[in-house]
Structure 1
Amino acid sequence: MKKILVNVVHPNIEQSIVNKRLVNGIKDIKNITINNLYEKYPDFKIDVKEEQKLLLEHDIILFQFPMYWFSSPSLLKEWFDKVLEPGFAHAGASMLKDKSFAVAVSCGGSKEVFSPTGKDKKRVEEFLYPFEITAKYVKMNYRKAYITYDTETVLSEETLNEYTHDYITYVKNL
């Protein structure tokens, strides 16, 4: 059974509706490790060796976060800058080669907003390209993203349940 590391990157997961629900949906799956980066590193002082150890112990690395300014919360950028250092992930070493890299992102806008004819003129997948190219750069296999929409609106219990069910299925199929 493949081991999955879920790096949750939400500055306030307890106040989250969608991301908290998604984490709760997968937390009891046997082969999953939940790694809450904002909880561990509120000061942004990342333990690089600990994070690298976690990466090496898992087959699939999933980053779960809300979309902030068409990207991720800033701690994730800091995490990439520090953890994927030369000699570990690239520039002479490819310690993550052939592992899977996946993204689960929650978006405040609707699917229509994130379309060529919508307000943002691009699909969410296009905004996620830096993650895809990062995966390729460190020789990881980029997997199709899991995306939730309309998270800035009051979502019905039915929609939240559907998102959670779909996320559990997505994670199990990684």
Structure 2
Amino acid sequence: MPLKSLDVLIVDDNANMRLLIRTILRSFGLAEARQARDGTAGLAELARRPPSLIISDWEMSPMNGGDFIRSVRRVGGEPHCFVPIIVLTAHASRQIIGEAFDAGATQLLVKPVTPANLLQRIGWVLEDDRPFVRMGDAYRQEMRLPKVAEKPVAAVAPKSSEVWALD
């Protein structure tokens, strides 16, 4: 899917961040991006028309990114529960990253946002072919382990009679 044909919804409580993301997307050729000031407004926008991609802040008020994503991914929210979601966060702690993916994020991008990083994440999302699976009352993308070589690579180790010395 070409970038210019994407229907993107930007969900962020910071108007300047929404403007920055929208400006970057326009530089990629996207004509327009819809905007929502927080998770609650984002859900209302989803009800009007599901986008092809959501870019959402993590820390928002009154509805934060985690609650927003869990609401999007809830069973019964078809078809928008399958929309890819890129989470933006300024706090890339292991805990927040884990919470974002547990909530149903497709990708994560740490602020400050650069055009190159945003384009990379969008590319990953567009090429992501992992199916959604039902987990309790929500959908999550199937987790896959990295592909392993078909033939194991032989490890090089010294024989017990050899001694390796560092110069």
User: What TM-score does the superposition give when structure 2 sets the normalisation length?
Assistant: 0.50
Higher RCO, Cα 8 Å, sep 6+: 1
- Give the TM-score normalised by structure 1: 0.48
